[in-house]
Amino acid sequence: MDLISPLFTQPFLYMALLAGLAASITSGVMGSFVVVKRIVFISGSIAHSVLGGMGLFLWIERRFGISWITPMQGAVVAAILAALLIGWIHLKYREREDTVIAALWSTGMSIGVIFIALTPGYNVELIHYLFGNILWVTTRDVWTLFALAAVVVAMVACFRHPFLAICFDPQQARLQRVPVRFFYLLLLCLIALSIVLLIQVVGAILVITMLAIPAAIAGSITPRFSHMMMWAVAIGALFTFLGTALSYHLNWPPGATIALVATLFYLLSFRLKKLN
């Protein structure tokens, strides 16, 4: 009880749990598509590409004194642009995603580093976004996270069958007159939004862990895709709960602790598979 009770008595920990729950909903749903389509490293590429958008928007805010511009807005813009660019190059030039991913990964990081160097002052905001700032979330942040999670879930509910078609058999989807290009780009944009959500929780560096591991564990529990998404949401919420509690008592960074808990459970799942 000593491990759990502070989560509900300390206001900042309670807000962190709500933020983690919102991110778990989105990551569980979209992470299932990422794992099934085997584009896990797209999350890493987009997550590191957003550093360019965050650095640019922070530089504009400081350089021109525009107070309503925030690094998170830059993250959303950069994530969507990176997702669309990955999809467009893949569809237009038939390039493999991993080649495009490597190029965007390094380009986004380079742009971010340049603008961070040009921005006056100590850029503590970007440190939080890189390594996670779940303990710093406000009520407004939580509402925003749940609103974006609702948008992602609603889109998946409306277009679940076309998304599944392009994940499992895009050639057959074309024969059935499914607009594969449109739904492929839409899927990548939703993945980008999910990554922005997760950056609030575990940071850009560790985002790939929370997007892929809960869905990967869920996939080993059930073969049904709808059940896989539900399991992934529950597992992601569990990781957030345990990671936040441990980080509070051990005085560890919460984002890194959540990612470490996820990794340990993933390794344990391999052990359980061998026993079965």
**Angle 97-118/71-93 helices, nearest 10 degrees?**
150
| CA 225 to centroid of chain Cα atoms | 19
Domain carrying residue 27: 5-269
Banded model confidence at residue 3, pLDDT cuts 50, 70, 90? low
Q: SS3 for 95? A: coil
pLDDT in tens, 114-133: 888 888 766 666 666 777 77
| Residue 165 forms part of a structural domain | yes
CA gap 73, 197 in Å, rounded: 12
| Residue 45 forms part of a structural domain | yes
| Residue 250 forms part of a structural domain | yes
Report the domain count for the chain: 1
CATH of the domain at 89: 1.10.3470.10
Q: What is the pLDDT of residue 270?
A: 80
Q: What is the pLDDT of residue 245?
A: 87
Can you read off the two tokens belonging to residue 269?
Answer: 């799942």
Burial 224-236 (b: 16+ CB within 10 A, else e): ebeebbebbbebb
| Residue 24 forms part of a structural domain | yes
| Residue 97 forms part of a structural domain | yes
| Residue 274 forms part of a structural domain | no
For residues 55-83, give the mean pLDDT.
87
CA gap 176, 112 in Å, rounded: 42
pLDDT in tens, 133-178: 777 788 887 888 888 889 989 999 999 899 999 888 888 888 888 8
Instruction: For residue 143, give every residue at least 6 positions away whose Cβ sits within 8 Å of its Cβ, in sequence order, or none.
Output: none
| Residue 276 forms part of a structural domain | no
Residue 166: closest CA among 115, 251, 91: 91
